């Protein structure tokens, strides 16, 4: 992304979240985005996912300019190329682990959706939890389901918004190691928002958001 400007309206006028921001991540690499609360880290992920549009500037993911696509085209692009892991898991409570992971494939009409989902859940060590609902799983298990769901369609870009933020340190370390291992296998580009320096240090590149700008560390 280059020359990105993003602002939010307030009673006293617009407040700039990103101001002439630039970010470049080599394909297949890992990047950590750090910064104080309210600095716009999650907004940056929303821009990279096409869920939010900037007020100005250009976002290029691979060879695709997100600004050239309408909402339907962006939805298609996300279903094929993007995976997201959230801090709060965001699993559907009425679906089993298998159902949660297979759902993105079923929506996109891919054949053998359940078989692919089973293989992905096996990869994250949950082959014995296929028919369990989120409420029957621990926090670490839920996050592993979320990772499986994010990676099941083999995205080229994987985004994580504080993916270990709701986990204790020991469980968080295990989930983080799993995330990086699967990233290497899939050869995806991994971008993480984190407050945890231990997480950031595991990434190949680091930037800090502050005052609407991105600074390399």
pLDDT digit string (tens) for 138-168?
999 999 999 999 999 999 999 999 988 888 8
E-strand spans in 87-181?
157-161
Residue spans of the domains in the chain: they are 4-216
Q: Whole-angstrom Cα distance, residue 145 to residue 94? A: 14
Does the pLDDT value for residue 73 go beyond 90? yes
Residue 62's pLDDT band, with cuts at 50, 70 and 90, is confident
pTM (2 d.p.): 0.90
Could you say which architecture CATH assigns to the domain 4-216?
Answer: 3-Layer(aba) Sandwich (3.40)
- Quote the CA–CA distance of 1 and 4 in Å, as a whole number: 7
Residue 47: the pLDDT is: 93
């Amino acid at each position: 992304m280059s020359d990105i400007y993003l602002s939010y309206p307030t009673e006293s006028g617009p407040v700039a979240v990103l101001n002439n921001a630039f970010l470049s991540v080599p394909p297949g690499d890992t990047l950590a985005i750090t910064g104080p609360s309210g600095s716009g880290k999650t907004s940056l992920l929303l821009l990279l996912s096409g869920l939010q549009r900037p007020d100005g500037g250009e976002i290029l993911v691979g060879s695709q300019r997100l600004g050239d696509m309408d909402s339907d085209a962006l939805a298609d692009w996300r279903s094929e190329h993007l995976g997201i892991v959230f801090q709060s898991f965001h699993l559907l409570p009425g679906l089993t682990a298998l159902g949660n992971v297979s759902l993105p494939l079923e929506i996109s009409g891919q054949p053998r959706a359940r078989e692919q989902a089973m293989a992905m859940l096996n990869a994250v060590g949950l082959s014995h939890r296929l028919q369990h609902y989120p409420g029957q799983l621990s926090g670490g298990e839920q996050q592993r389901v979320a990772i499986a769901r994010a990676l099941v369609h083999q995205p080229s870009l994987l985004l994580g918004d504080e993916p270990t933020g709701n986990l204790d340190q020991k469980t968080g370390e295990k989930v983080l190691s799993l995330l990086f291992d699967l990233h290497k296998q899939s050869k995806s580009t991994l971008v993480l928002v984190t407050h945890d320096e231990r997480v950031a240090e595991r990434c190949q590149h680091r930037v800090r958001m502050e005052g609407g700008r991105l600074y390399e560390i």
